[in-house]
Structure 1
Amino acid sequence: MSRTFLSEPGPTPDVTALYESDVADNGYVMNLSRVWGHHPSAQDALSAQLLAMTELAGLSFRDRGILVSATASTYGDSYCSLAWGNRLARASDGGTAAGVLTGDDGGLDDERERALAAWARKVARDPNSTTASDVAALRAVGYDDPQVLAITTYVALRMAFSTVNAALGARPDDELRTDGDPAVAAAVTWGRA
């Protein structure tokens, strides 16, 4: 079975660096890197923007796990649901991560985390349906307007990343299911197999 709809990128120094980074971080080359290997600087630019929004919003690793898991599951992206669901499981536990993936935020620590998950789902589901009271819910847990913009941009950029991967047929890496948290693997029933 093909890993993506694209051919394998040509062996350039940028592709080699991308693949070597994957192997160092994960022990294997990720299927999404076989997509982005056709233009590594595009992934670098997107990653730089995500980092800038992370810093502006003051997001922790766990916050990002909540945002991406809630976004990807609502959006129907199995790849990022598995990848970030497993990361959230490591930052919390499998039940909490599986809950966020399936829309149950009872395992989250506080109202701030629940507000992040709710906002991510609203943006991913239908950004035209958000209201001023939805933004007020983020303010009520301590986020100011520049942070709300950064959080929203972060969610939108994650959706863009997921869209590219899904549209170009990047299948979730087998390791995300076999080596990840069993509760996460069981929860993710959508997207590409």
Structure 2
Amino acid sequence: MTDEAQRMFDEDVADTGHVMNNSRLWAYRPGLVAGLFELLREAGKAAGLDGRERGILIAACASAAGDSYCALAWGSRLAEAGDADTAAAVLRGADVGLTARERALAGWVRKVAVMPHGTSGEDVQELRDTGWDDLQVFAITVFAALRIAFSTVNGALGARPDAAFRATAPPAVLDAVTFGRPIEDETSKLS
């Protein structure tokens, strides 16, 4: 246990009331996750994302990539920023309740998550047509790619969504997340 890992655990307890499973995993190299999150902050700032847009981006990206952990976490945050039915729709890929700008964002990050080599100029133009400029499109794409990297590490090394999600995630969000690793049992930490 390093001082950096303990700080990460202490922050989790202060924020969520428990040590998160992904923090237990990243405790092997806390500096790596800190660096990754610093890049995410820079990309998010460059993209000019507000809290709701960030939630849409991450929830859409996580669900498209099959990441149940981030889908539950960010679907819950998106529900807090709006409503649970909209969050559940984003997680299912339906995008009910989103503006045209938000739908373009969600559609783009799903393409980045699933088939980045299949995007086209028309896809970028759809973003432009709804108000995103080229700098923002670049930053959004970087942000999504970094989130995919984070999800890949968590998923590949077995981080299961925390048992606490059963009590904290809205029922609509829990029902929408039918993919990825299951929520941990009360007695397990990593599978």
> TM-score over 0.5 for the alignment?
yes
Which runs of 4 or more aligned residues in structure 1 lie more than 3 Å from their structure 2 counterparts after TM superposition? none
Structure 2 partner of 1:4:
none
Q: How many pairs were matched up?
A: 182
SS of residue paired to 1:174: coil
Structure 2 partner of 1:179:
168
CA distance in 2, matches of 1:62, 1:106: 14
- Are 1:172 and 1:192, in contact at CA under 8 Å, matched by a contact in 2? yes
Structure 1 residue 84 displacement after superposition: 0.3
Structure 2 partner of 1:34:
24
CA distance in 2, matches of 1:175, 1:64: 23
Look up the equivalent residue of 1:153 and give its one-letter code. V
- Are 1:82 and 1:177, in contact at CA under 8 Å, matched by a contact in 2? no
Structure 1 residue 180 displacement after superposition: 1.2
**Counterpart among 101, 119, 125 of residue 112 in structure 1:** 101
The answer to whether residue 149 in structure 2 is matched with residue 160 in structure 1 is yes
RMSD: 0.7
Moved more, 141-150 or 164-173: 141-150
Structure 1 residue 12 displacement after superposition: 1.4
CA distance in 2, matches of 1:179, 1:46: 26
Deviations 1:113-150 (A, max 9, x none): 11110101111110111000100111111211111100
Structure 1 residue 177 displacement after superposition: 2.5
TM-score (norm 1): 0.93
Query: Which blocks of at least 5 consecutive residues in structure 2 are unaligned?
Result: 183-191
Aligned-residue sequence identity (percent) comes to 54
Look up the equivalent residue of 1:37 and give its one-letter code. A
**Counterpart among 163, 177, 183 of residue 188 in structure 1:** 177
The answer to whether residue 41 in structure 2 is matched with residue 48 in structure 1 is no
Query: Which blocks of at least 5 consecutive residues in structure 1 are unaligned?
Result: 1-10
Structure 1 partner of 2:128:
139
Structure 1 residue 176 displacement after superposition: 1.6
Look up the equivalent residue of 2:25 and give its one-letter code. V
CA distance in 2, matches of 1:180, 1:163: 22
TM-score (norm 2): 0.94
Structure 1 partner of 2:10:
20
